[in-house]
Structure 1
Amino acid sequence: MAAQLKKQPIHKLPISPHAPIYHLKPDPLFPSPASLFALSSYKPPAGLASNGPVALKEGDAVPPSMLRRSRAIREGGAFTYTSPLPLEFPYDIQEPEEHQEKRVGEETQAKASTIEESLARYEVSPDVVVADDEGKGRAFSSAVRQSSRFPKATLLSLSSKCAEEWLPQLDLGAEASKEREQLVEVLAGKTVLAREAEGKDIGFAPWSLCYGGHQFGSWANQLGDGRAISILSTPTTPEVKDATGFSTLELQLKGAGRTPYSRFADGLAVLRSSIREYLAAEAMAALRLPTSRALALVGIPDVKVRREMVETAAIVTRVASSWIRIGNFEIQSTRQEWDSLRTLTRFVGREVFEFKEPPADSKFGRGLGLHVLVEVAKRNAVMIAGWQSYGFMHGVMNTDNIAVTGACIDYGPYAFMDVFDSHHICNHSDDMGRYSFRNQPTMGMFAVTKLADALAELIGCEIDIAKNDEGSGFVQVDEGWGEGGIEAGWMAGWRKAGVEKLEDVKTEFVETFTNEYTRLMRLRLGFETAQKGDFDLISELLDLLELHSLDFTNSFRLLSQFTGTSSSHFSIFLDHLLPSDATTVTLPPTAREEWTKWLKKYEDRLAAELSEASDRRLRMNLVNPRFTLRQWVLEETIQKLDHQKGSVDPLERALRMAGAPFEAYGEVEIGKDECEVLNEEQKEERRLCGVGSAELLGFQCSCSS
Structure 2
Amino acid sequence: MAAPTCSTKHSLLSLPTSPHAPIYHLRPDPLFPSPKSLLALSSYDAPPDLGAKGPVALREGDPVPPSMLRRSRQIRGGGAFTYTSPLPIEFPYDIREPADTERTNAATPTTIETQLAAFEASPSHPVWDAALPSSEERPARATAFSSARRDADAFPRGQLLSVSAALRDAWLPQLDIGSDGEGDKVREQFVDVASGRVVLAREPVEGNEGEGADKGFAPWSLCYAGHQFGSFAGQLGDGRAISILSTPPTPEVAAKTGFKAIELQLKGAGRTPYSRFADGLAVLRSSVREYLGAEAVAALGVPTSRALALVHLPSVHVRREQLEEAAIVTRVASSWIRIGSFEQQAYRGEYDSMSLLERYVAREVFALEEKGAPRVGEGAPARRSLMRAVVEEVARRNALTVAGWQAYGFMHGVMNTDNLAVTGDTIDYGPYAFMDIFDSAHICNHSDDGGRYSFRNQPSMMLWGIDKLGQATAELIGHEAELAERGEGGEGWVVAPDGWAGEGEATDDMKRWKERGMQEVAKVKEGFVGIFRAEYERLMRLRLGLTTAEEGDFDLFSRFLDLMATHELDFTNTHRLMSQFVSTEGSTFSAFLDALIPASAASSSSSSASPARDDWTAFLSSYETRLGLEPSDAQRTRRARMDGANPRFTLRQWVLEETIAKLSDPATRDAEGRAQLERVLDMATRPFEPYGEGEVGVRDEGETCPTREEQERRRLCAVGPVDMRGFQCSCSS
Instruction: Judge conservation of contact 2:413–2:453 (CA < 8 Å) in 1.
Output: yes
Residue 368 of structure 1 corresponds to: 386
Spell out, residue by residue over 1:36-67, the C-alpha distance to the aligned partner (whole angstroms, 9 max, x if none). 01100001124211233332122211000000
Which one of 681, 691, 694 corresponds to residue 719 of structure 2?
691
CA distance in 2, matches of 1:485, 1:469: 24
Instruction: Quote the offset at 1:473 in angstroms.
Output: 1.2
Letter in 1 for 2:366: F
Residue 538 of structure 1 corresponds to: 557
Instruction: Quote the offset at 1:614 in angstroms.
Output: 4.5
Instruction: Judge conservation of contact 2:249–2:259 (CA < 8 Å) in 1.
Output: yes
Residue 523 of structure 1 corresponds to: 542
Residue 620 of structure 1 corresponds to: 642
Structure 1 gap segments, 5+ residues each: none
Instruction: Judge conservation of contact 2:221–2:272 (CA < 8 Å) in 1.
Output: yes
Instruction: Judge conservation of contact 1:461–1:477 (CA < 8 Å) in 2.
Output: yes
Spell out, residue by residue over 1:220-246, the C-alpha distance to the aligned partner (whole angstroms, 9 max, x if none). 000000000000000001111121111
CA distance in 2, matches of 1:689, 1:415: 15
Letter in 1 for 2:620: L
Distance 1:687 1:379, change over 3 A: same
Letter in 2 for 1:287: L
Residue 635 of structure 1 corresponds to: 657
* 2:430 aligned counterpart, secondary structure: coil
Instruction: Quote the offset at 1:650 in angstroms.
Output: 0.7
Residue 242 of structure 1 corresponds to: 255
Residue 283 of structure 2 corresponds to: 270
Q: Is residue 129 of structure 1 aligned with residue 136 of structure 2?
A: no
Give TM-score scaled by structure 1 length.
Answer: 0.96
Instruction: Judge conservation of contact 2:226–2:340 (CA < 8 Å) in 1.
Output: yes
Instruction: Quote the offset at 1:361 in angstroms.
Output: 3.3
CA distance in 1, matches of 2:38, 2:98: 26
* 1:349 aligned counterpart, secondary structure: helix
Q: Is residue 385 of structure 1 aligned with residue 403 of structure 2?
A: yes
CA distance in 1, matches of 2:103, 2:22: 48
CA distance in 2, matches of 1:213, 1:79: 15
CA distance in 2, matches of 1:316, 1:703: 17
Distance 1:378 1:108, change over 3 A: closer
Letter in 2 for 1:638: I
Higher mean C-alpha displacement, 423-432 vs 192-201: 192-201
CA distance in 2, matches of 1:142, 1:358: 49
Which one of 430, 448, 459 corresponds to residue 477 of structure 2?
459
Instruction: Judge conservation of contact 1:368–1:474 (CA < 8 Å) in 2.
Output: yes
CA distance in 2, matches of 1:196, 1:335: 31
Instruction: Judge conservation of contact 2:374–2:382 (CA < 8 Å) in 1.
Output: no
Residue 652 of structure 1 corresponds to: 678
CA distance in 1, matches of 2:333, 2:168: 12
CA distance in 1, matches of 2:500, 2:510: 10
Instruction: Judge conservation of contact 1:426–1:699 (CA < 8 Å) in 2.
Output: yes
CA distance in 1, matches of 2:700, 2:382: 59
CA distance in 2, matches of 1:585, 1:557: 24
What are the equivalent positions in structure 2 for 1:550-569 lying under 5 Å apart?
550-569=569-588
Letter in 1 for 2:395: A
Higher mean C-alpha displacement, 251-260 vs 498-507: 498-507
Instruction: Judge conservation of contact 1:208–1:228 (CA < 8 Å) in 2.
Output: yes
Q: Is residue 184 of structure 1 aligned with residue 191 of structure 2?
A: yes
Letter in 1 for 2:720: G
Letter in 2 for 1:159: S
CA distance in 2, matches of 1:350, 1:4: 25
Instruction: Quote the offset at 1:486 in angstroms.
Output: 6.8
Instruction: Judge conservation of contact 1:393–1:416 (CA < 8 Å) in 2.
Output: yes
Higher mean C-alpha displacement, 105-114 vs 428-437: 105-114
CA distance in 1, matches of 2:94, 2:74: 25
Give TM-score scaled by structure 2 length.
Answer: 0.93
What are the equivalent positions in structure 2 for 1:5-44 lying under 5 Å apart?
5-44=7-46
Instruction: Quote the offset at 1:403 in angstroms.
Output: 0.1
CA distance in 2, matches of 1:250, 1:480: 28
Spell out, residue by residue over 1:204-262, the C-alpha distance to the aligned partner (whole angstroms, 9 max, x if none). 00000000000000000000000000000000011111211112100000000000000
What are the equivalent positions in structure 2 for 1:567-586 lying under 5 Å apart?
567-580=586-599
Instruction: Judge conservation of contact 1:563–1:613 (CA < 8 Å) in 2.
Output: no
Residue 316 of structure 2 corresponds to: 303
Instruction: Judge conservation of contact 1:364–1:370 (CA < 8 Å) in 2.
Output: no
Which one of 356, 362, 374 corresponds to residue 343 of structure 1?
356
Instruction: Quote the offset at 1:276 in angstroms.
Output: 0.3
CA distance in 2, matches of 1:73, 1:584: 60
CA distance in 1, matches of 2:116, 2:12: 26
Q: How big is the alpha-carbon RMSD for the aligned residues of Structure 1 and Structure 2?
A: 1.9
Letter in 1 for 2:340: G
Distance 1:586 1:482, change over 3 A: farther
Spell out, residue by residue over 1:177-219, the C-alpha distance to the aligned partner (whole angstroms, 9 max, x if none). 1111111100000001100100232100000000000000000
Which one of 117, 120, 133 corresponds to residue 117 of structure 2?
120
Q: Is residue 669 of structure 1 aligned with residue 674 of structure 2?
A: no
Instruction: Judge conservation of contact 1:274–1:297 (CA < 8 Å) in 2.
Output: yes
CA distance in 2, matches of 1:41, 1:338: 36
Letter in 2 for 1:451: L
CA distance in 1, matches of 2:425, 2:502: 34
What are the equivalent positions in structure 2 for 1:492-511 lying under 5 Å apart?
492-511=511-530
Q: Is residue 174 of structure 1 aligned with residue 179 of structure 2?
A: yes
**Number of residue pairs the alignment of both structures matches:** 698
Instruction: Judge conservation of contact 2:337–2:422 (CA < 8 Å) in 1.
Output: yes
* 1:600 aligned counterpart, secondary structure: helix
Which one of 150, 161, 166 corresponds to residue 161 of structure 1?
166
* 1:31 aligned counterpart, secondary structure: coil
* 1:303 aligned counterpart, secondary structure: strand
Instruction: Quote the offset at 1:612 in angstroms.
Output: 5.4
Instruction: Quote the offset at 1:481 in angstroms.
Output: 2.1
CA distance in 2, matches of 1:525, 1:284: 20
Letter in 2 for 1:195: R
Q: Is residue 147 of structure 1 aligned with residue 152 of structure 2?
A: yes
Q: Is residue 313 of structure 1 aligned with residue 326 of structure 2?
A: yes
Spell out, residue by residue over 1:561-615, the C-alpha distance to the aligned partner (whole angstroms, 9 max, x if none). 000000100000000000115x999989311011000000000000111125451
Q: Give % identity.
A: 60
Instruction: Quote the offset at 1:502 in angstroms.
Output: 2.0
Instruction: Quote the offset at 1:325 in angstroms.
Output: 0.2
CA distance in 2, matches of 1:667, 1:614: 21
Letter in 2 for 1:403: A
* 1:145 aligned counterpart, secondary structure: helix
Residue 431 of structure 2 corresponds to: 413
Residue 133 of structure 2 corresponds to: none
Instruction: Judge conservation of contact 2:95–2:105 (CA < 8 Å) in 1.
Output: no
Letter in 2 for 1:697: R
Residue 72 of structure 1 corresponds to: 74
* 2:327 aligned counterpart, secondary structure: strand
CA distance in 2, matches of 1:365, 1:562: 53
Q: Is residue 682 of structure 1 aligned with residue 710 of structure 2?
A: yes
What are the equivalent positions in structure 2 for 1:374-453 lying under 5 Å apart?
374-453=392-471
Instruction: Quote the offset at 1:480 in angstroms.
Output: 3.0
* 2:143 aligned counterpart, secondary structure: strand
CA distance in 2, matches of 1:365, 1:406: 26
Residue 104 of structure 2 corresponds to: 107
Residue 532 of structure 2 corresponds to: 513
Distance 1:236 1:76, change over 3 A: same
CA distance in 2, matches of 1:41, 1:307: 34
Distance 1:64 1:701, change over 3 A: same
Distance 1:604 1:265, change over 3 A: same
Letter in 2 for 1:659: T
CA distance in 2, matches of 1:700, 1:4: 42
CA distance in 2, matches of 1:695, 1:3: 50
The list of structure 1 runs, each at least 4 consecutive aligned residues, that deviate by more than 3 angstroms after superposition, is: 361-365, 483-489, 583-588
Instruction: Judge conservation of contact 1:274–1:315 (CA < 8 Å) in 2.
Output: yes
